[in-house]
Amino acid sequence: MTERQLIDDFLAQKRIAVIGVSRNPRDFNRTMYNEFIRRGYDAVPVNPNVNEIDGRRSFASAGEIDPKVEAALIMTPATQSEAVARECAEAGIQRVWFYRATGRGAVDERAVDFCESRGMSVVAGRCPFMFFPNPGFHGLHSFFLKLIGRYPR
């Protein structure tokens, strides 16, 4: 699959774990989590340090989610991504997205290699906001990447 096909397949899933969602309502990854909900996804928060986020039960790990999810958006620091990827694989999650806006984000090469070696679909980097219909000001980021030839095909 092309990178764009992987992205579209991920976003076609309706029940998605958001791993590493912040307790802080002003944190950007909390904004991302809320945007998935606003767009009709059944976004499942995963954060071992809290029992609930915005009235939804939060799970300590991907393996504890019940009922199961179809995909996982990983928003942890890159140093935690390999362990999180292993949890996703053990939980039977076949689609993962290692979030990145700037810096490394959640992208860790060992985690990506681990997932790919197990036949999991992987989006390594990128921000989901850029690929939602009507992305608002995030559309500028998409436009810029298209302009310089770095938008996924």
Q: Which residue has the tokens 């979030």?
A: 99
Residue 59 lies in a domain: yes
Residue 89 lies in a domain: yes
Distance from C-alpha of 63 to C-alpha of 69, rounded to nearest angstrom: 10
| Residue 138 domain boundaries | 3-147
CATH of the domain at 51: 3.40.50.720
Distance from C-alpha of 63 to C-alpha of 49, rounded to nearest angstrom: 16
pLDDT of residue 139: 52
Please enumerate in sequence order all residues whose Cβ is within 8 A of that of 116, keeping only pairs 6 or more positions apart, or say none.
122
Asked if 31 and 40 touch (Cβ cutoff 8 Å), the reply is no
- 3-state DSSP: the chain helix, strand, coil percent, rounded to 5? 40, 20, 45
The model carries a pTM of 0.88
Residue 153 lies in a domain: no
Q: What is the pLDDT of residues 81-138, one digit of tens each?
A: 999 999 999 999 999 999 986 667 889 999 999 999 999 999 998 889 888 776 555 5
Q: How many domains does the chain have?
A: 1
